[in-house]
Amino acid sequence: MGNNNYICVMLKQAIRLALAGTLLLMCTYCANMRPPTGGPKDAYAPIVLASEPPNYTINFDADKIELKFNEFVAVSDVITEVFISPPLQNTPEVKTRGKSVIIYLEEELQDSTTYSIFFGKSIKDITEGNPIENYNYVFSTGDKIDSLSVIGEVINAFDLKPREDVLVMLYEDDNDSIPFDSLPFMVKPSYLTRTNTAGFFLINNLRGGDYMMFTLADINLSATYDGGDEEVGFLDSLISPVYYAQETVDTTLLDSLGISLQDTLASLLIDSLLVADTLSADTVDVRFYTLFMFHEVPDTIQKLLGADKPRRQVLRFIFRYPADDVMITPLTPVPNEWMHEEWNKGKDTLRYYILSDKVDTISLRIWQDTTVFDTVSYSLVEKEIPQRKKDMEEAQILRMFTNISNPFPYQDTLKLKTGYPFRAVDFSRFVLTAAEDTIEASFEIYDPAARMIRLNHKFKEQTLYTLFFPDSVLFDIMGKSNDSIEFRFNTNSYEDYGLYVIHAVNSSQYDQIAIQLMTENEKLIRQNIIRQEETISWDLLKPGKYIIKAFADLNHNRVWDTGDYLERRQPEPVVFFPGAIEVRAGWSFEEDWSIEFK
């Protein structure tokens, strides 16, 4: 009940905005005269004066349609902007002739079927390129115009943002040779439309029956789902379009104002939705559909996407998926401990740092189980390039990278990194001081590739530290050594951070929920798992704005999982805490959140 009323309220607001734009357009056309030639810049869209056959013609049997405008027009982007519902096998030929646009229908139409031609932004005046947006021409090959409709929205399943300009498609179960679930892969839909900038859609002129609803980001303009990078979404059950009572429409007036029946239906929907404020949701037949769009996980076949030598003594292998079980076998003799390996965080990119200077050329076989992905060979001997003495000396200096900032977070771990693995390190000559006092500190190399150092020390708040090490205490596999280095930094204090406490209650039907704290750029900062009710304290937060997100962890793997169309599995439900939260230094905040999913 509450969700239905909420949907009604939100829908009323969206449609009111659309209607306000339409009314403003109508008033503009009625109250303003066109400027004469040579006057101000033309900012007006072309106006349809007439169409032949007339818009909303029944018993249609013509092989072409002519739209007559009040000025000279041009047509562009027919493939992407113009489409017909139900779709034809071939895009009609669209031409201009003076102040007219002519659409040639070159294939046989279905009997007793209502067709809608959407022109998007394809028709523009030739002077300033002002488009007549979303003009819609409707006709029927039968003795009536079908009058049922569906309305809804498409949103991204991961971040709940509206999806603009994606297809919404309806399929009838009328194909004896193709399984119903396979229709989006095999055939064009029975009806289709595109979403607007707010992700909303409205499909009119539908005949009665049950339909499968599907949404598609149609990258290759095929009006079929071709996998790959195309995003999809679907409803779990069939839908039935409904009838919204419509007044008699003067189509000549609509044409002259550049307004489609879709706009008129929007205004009538407002009257229907207003009833929801005084009647129970069960008595108001407003069916609003939400489709969640997602990328499917591609097939799970492992592939080697690339292998190269990005720089001296480094080989890189890039895989399609995490590749822990991929084997790389030398085919040429190599000494023991000839390389260090380093995986990236996602385990799909592997680097080999070649340790031995006795290997001139190397061949490697890359394989998994019985599949050989590739055999690669590399020369490890670099061409000598003449250099100035100064440049040669500079090239022998080992460069260090560090996470030190000023101020440095007192609770963090200080880290150092170099471009190649260390061959030798003398930690006994590292010196750490706090103010004027020398501190006994512990350093260690902590990564498998042996090129990262960390300092194991608990820093004090608001203290000046100095880290110093003299020259020639760090050596890498390339023979480089360091100059003397000194880092000076102050630590901050607990008062520089904020505390955020959220009392989270699982009010959904799901048994496990992941709650995430993210930056405004949606970088994950913290994650907690709850089952029923829990108080979560996020301490030591940097001042700034954050977003809180929750998802239903259906398979208890602690990561958000996408959907799968053929398995009829929806993406894991997502919800956001209303609005961003602001954390201030030295402040603590508490919120209550009853978590429910749409």
389-494 and 497-595 share one CATH topology?
A: yes
Write down the domain spans for the chain: 2-33+42-293, 304-379, 389-494, 497-595
Tokens of 349: 């990119």
- Span 543-596, pLDDT tens digits: 999 999 999 999 999 999 999 999 999 999 999 999 999 999 999 999 999 999
pLDDT of residue 40: 66
pLDDT at 310 over 80: yes
Q: Model confidence over 447-487: pLDDT tens digits?
A: 999 999 999 999 999 999 999 999 999 999 888 999 999 99
Burial degree of 252 (CB within 10 A; 0-12, 13-18, 19+): middle
pLDDT value, residue 389: 55
How many whole angstroms separate alpha carbon 459 and alpha carbon 434?
9
Token pair 């500079």 is at which residue? 394
pLDDT of 278: 35
Q: What is the mean pLDDT of the chain?
A: 85
The fold for domain 2-33+42-293 equals: Immunoglobulin-like (2.60.40)
Cα–Cα distance measured from residue 594 to residue 550, given in angstroms and rounded to the nearest whole number: 11
By CB atoms closer than 10 A (0-12, 13-18, 19+), residue 510 is: middle
CATH of domain 497-595: 2.60.40.1120
Residues 6+ apart with CB under 8 A from 397: 480, 481, 482, 483
pLDDT for 395? 63
On the question of pLDDT at 523 being above 90, the answer is yes
Residue type (1 letter), 11 = L
Lowest-pLDDT choice from 22-36, 277-291, 330-344, 526-540: 22-36
For residue 273, the surrounding DSSP H or E stretch is helix 261-274
Q: Which has the minimum average pLDDT: 21-25, 100-104, 119-123, 429-433?
A: 21-25
More confident residue, 276 or 422: 422
pLDDT band at 245 (very low <50, low <70, confident <90, very high): low
pLDDT in tens, 168-213: 999 998 777 788 889 999 988 989 898 988 999 999 999 999 999 9
Residue 390 or residue 158, greater confidence: 158
Tokens of 130: 């002002």
| pLDDT beyond 80 at 26 | no
Supply the Cα-derived Rg of the chain in whole angstroms.
Answer: 33
Give pLDDT, residue 391. 54
Q: Which H or E run contains 9?
A: helix 2-31
**Segment (H or E) for 12:** helix 2-31
Q: Give the global pTM.
A: 0.76
- Provide CB contacts within 8 A for 593, sequence distance 6+: 502, 503, 504, 505, 548, 577
Query: What is the rounded average pLDDT of the residues 420-440?
Result: 92
At residue 15 the predicted structure's pLDDT band, cuts being 50, 70 and 90, is very low
Q: What pLDDT, on the 0 to 100 scale, is given for residue 283? A: 41
304-379: CATH topology is Immunoglobulin-like (2.60.40)
- What is the per-residue pLDDT across 205-237, written as a single tens digit (0 to 9) for each? 999 999 999 999 998 888 899 988 899 999 999
Q: Class of 389-494 per CATH? A: mainly beta
271 has a pLDDT exceeding 80: no
The pLDDT of 258-274, averaged and rounded, is 44
b (16+ CB within 10 A) / e for 520-535: eeeeeeeebebeeeee
Q: Is the pLDDT of residue 413 over 60?
A: yes
Band the pLDDT of 261: cuts 50, 70, 90: very low
CB 302 within 8 A of CB 323: yes
